[in-house]
Structure 1
């Protein structure tokens, strides 16, 4: 390399060195000062859960009461806090743990926030709750007769309160629906959970409807899941509830935190209307040797530049956003150093994000089905000689129709994994179909297969890199890693040598 070329690249070398030093310093500083572990696994799991309460105040005094989680098997509440400008906030731990906001006057749309840090532990933290009293229930005919017959059938094949509950729920989740079950489903609809509680009370079984939160990392605006709690003597057990098509409400089988355990209302608003509550959550791996949750939230100096200081909903969003540079780094490595061709520069990164939401196999099958069908329809549209923008619009509408059709068919066939195809970015799929169609017309099917296969290979490798727990831990907890990734990308950008796939073309010179 000549001295002129070296002088031209000197600013690049200086910038890369500055980025590497800055990123490494931030990572080491965060590890040593705040004791955030570098290695994934030498940690304890903490869930940060944020509840957002929204309602419309009528202009007078407002009082909001919300259920709070308490200690239970496998979970310990470490810390609680609330954000409610202008409101008084009190945590009440009498008969049931609740958070109460109050204000003398408020009008318009209101937002209240509650946040809890919950430690995943092996301790048996649940205090057994007393069984509720048996209340008298009754129904008009013909529903009373149908309920009595269903209860009699379930009772004859059960031995205790728990087995009676399983038999009862099994009849409502069976594929072969009896006439009585269909009658009750039609009449009660969304009120079936309350009906099951009343049916158990009629059978002299103490039961109540409780609510749990399905813990899924990075989820936003989630709702509580109704569950059935049944007592047998001094012990109690929580049962999952089937939905109208017989599936469990916990389709993903993720861990569940009992948010309300006593059958009381989750949210009670006095002085307001149109209220709702939504939950956001994020999982963190913290040091087992120090109270990192306290350090990260209480120390806000410049060097502790942390995503943890943001609200949970924004944290969950940034947890995914911070993975994008990793996927982009994979694309740079494969395109610049290896020489793999892709359809679109960073389209594989977006497809990899969709794979994270859908799972790899489901995502690959869904992507191939949608693109193959879209290419066939795009071939028909090309005969109509449409302008570019209307043609792209037609392809977008077609992709939406294809995804809707595949989702309905998979649901009808009982393939619930097919419903995840809706996570694919439809605009990106439409542009991919358009680009591949034009490429087919200009270069032929061989080039389409080469670029399409390269895109899928890059997307799969990016998915593996972005879904790795160690990578997710580092990108979320160490903002300095972004500087290191940027330095690596700049170094790759200065590479001017042969790509690996080009070496075969010039191997004859070596002979």
Structure 2
């Protein structure tokens, strides 16, 4: 029978698991290792204005996820005001409104911004240039001469914009440029010239991030489009490119702050930078995008269920350890996956406490089970008696530990009592049929497997990977399927060939 379907299934599981994990890392920036730190900026915008004594409406631009930055959380403080968030063409704004406002007013907006190199901006459509710009004489002639001069020395919209800005620099200003600057501010003037030249452009506002700065204002930039590409220009220097510490606050070409029903409005910014674990920094993003298939995340569950799944998702790791030891090495265990459950108990009790508790319970249970064998009970009744005995042993050890001040002994209650009972029953039967040597072999193998499974499952990196990358479960499934197809010799079986080597 062909094995092609089997290999296709294994390959599909591997590809799907790796793709899901890589997508999660790239799209949501979930780190591969625990303990990674990410830079987060806490920014506060303070809006001040003097109300006229009647209804007031305040509209302010808000930052959005963009290249290099992602908005994690945002809050406002505006007592007595109604608040709505607006979004249009990829631009976000906050709208405060109140029926009656008198005197000085203060509104606050704060946001946590994650430095995220993989983040991408929302698409904002480029503006449509209006070449029918109206100038009054003699500014119309001066504007056309400035445009012609820059146009002849450029090759595309970006080089034209850079040449145009440079023509207004202090070192290169001509008579036409000086004349235009007497009537217009530099930013609006550049936009009018770009419009007349048919170059799509808009004025945007950004915040230069500097740790610990207070009462900062936004800076203006010119965004020029060449088809689907765009470039940012400093209108003062003509420098092209976006600084790494520039957070675009308003990117739709609209005003940053609009106030109706008030005067003397202004907005200032304060900021501070701090580091926090990467997992915590992206947790809110994971919870928001948990609805789609590739972005499926248990972070959307309540914290209690998340803690439960953090343990459940470790079980396949323990199962893989069992498969490796039994299929490739040939270690015998008392029960197939009993060591995995014991390893889970070790995670709760710590390794040393778990080992001592496990040995004590099994040793005492074997003694009592040996006595029960003389009563000739039926199997169900005998196992039930062993279960009650295990509960009694665990209760007794817990009380004695507490009386002696050994609080670690109280954690012995985490052991799976039913599994311990069946382990004692199986070892007792094995003792009667195969002798104590086989009991030691299988009991020691079970304990060794449980310890190795515990070390694998309790590894911080493995706990992080299994909890944050569900695609790992598909990879584990593929590995186990491949191991299940192994039909060669086990490592411990090679001892049978030792006499052959001695004869040689």
- For Structure 1 versus Structure 2, the TM-score category normalised by the shorter chain is 0.5 to 0.7
Cα deviations across residues 110-144 of structure 1 (Å, max 9, x unaligned)?
xxxxxxxx9xxxxxxxxxxxxxxxxxxxxxxxxxx
TM-score, normalised relative to structure 2: 0.52
Are 2:8 and 1:14 aligned? Answer: yes
Give the Cα separation in 2 of the matches to 1:92 and 1:15: 57
Kindly indicate whether residue 444 of structure 2 is the aligned counterpart of residue 453 of structure 1.
yes
Does 2:283 align with 1:328?
A: no
Number of equivalent positions: 277
After superposition, the C-alpha distances for 1:286-317 in whole angstroms (9 at most, x for unaligned) are 528x9412311222322101111112111111
Q: Partner of 1:344 in structure 2?
A: 335
C-alpha distance in 1, partners of 2:21/2:78? 40
Match of 1:27 in 2: 21
Gaps of 5+ in 2: 41-71, 80-111, 113-275
Residue 297 of structure 1 pairs with residue 287 of structure 2:
yes
TM superposition shift of 1:79: 6.1
* Corresponding residue for residue 400 of structure 1: 391
* Alignment-derived partner of residue 175 in structure 2: none
Higher mean Cα deviation, 308-317 or 320-329? 308-317
Q: Which residue of 1 aligns with 2:382?
A: 391
TM-score using structure 1 length: 0.51
Aligned counterparts of 1:397 and 1:405: Cα–Cα separation in 2:
12
Match of 2:457 in 1: 466
Residue 493 (str. 1) matches residue 462 (str. 2): no
C-alpha separation between the residues in 2 aligned to 1:291 and 1:367?
A: 40
Q: 2:419 aligns with which of 410, 428, 433?
A: 428
Partner of 1:41: 35
**Aligned-partner Cα distance in 2 for 1:45–1:342:** 48
Unmatched runs of 5 consecutive residues or more in structure 1: 47-77, 82-90, 94-117, 119-284
In structure 2, do the counterparts of structure 1 residues 34 and 378 end up closer, same or farther at CA, with 3 Å as the change threshold?
same
Task: Name 1:365's counterpart in structure 2.
Answer: 356
SS in 2 for 1:355: helix
Q: Which entry has the higher C-alpha Rg, 1 or 2?
A: 2
For the pair 1:476 / 2:476, whether they are aligned, the reply is no
Q: Distance in 2 between matches of 1:328 and 1:445?
A: 27
Q: Closer, same or farther in 2 for the Cα pair 1:44/1:453, shift >3 Å?
A: farther
Contact conserved, 1:327 with 1:465, CA < 8 A, in 2? yes
How far the C-alpha of 1:492 sits from its partner, in A, is: 0.3
Shift of 1:44: 6.2
Map 1:119-158 → 2, pairs under 5 A: none
| Match of residue 497 from structure 2 | 506
- Show the counterpart of 1:121: none
Q: Is the 8 A contact 2:35 2:278 kept in 1?
A: no
Q: 1:353, 1:463 within 8 Å by CA — same for their partners in 2?
A: yes
Give the CA RMSD over aligned residues: 2.8
Change (3 A) 1:291 1:467: closer
CA distance in 2, matches of 1:317, 1:92: 39
What do the CA deviations read for 1:325-355 (whole angstroms, capped 9, x no partner)? Answer: 0000000000000000000000000000000
2:403 paired residue among 412, 426, 438: 412
Q: CA deviation at 1:80?
A: 10
Question: In the TM superposition, what whole-angstrom CA distance separates every residue of 1:483-502 from its partner, at most 9, and x where no partner exists?
Answer: 00000000000000000101
The residue number in structure 2 matching 1:224 is none
Q: Is the 8 A contact 1:36 1:286 kept in 2?
A: no
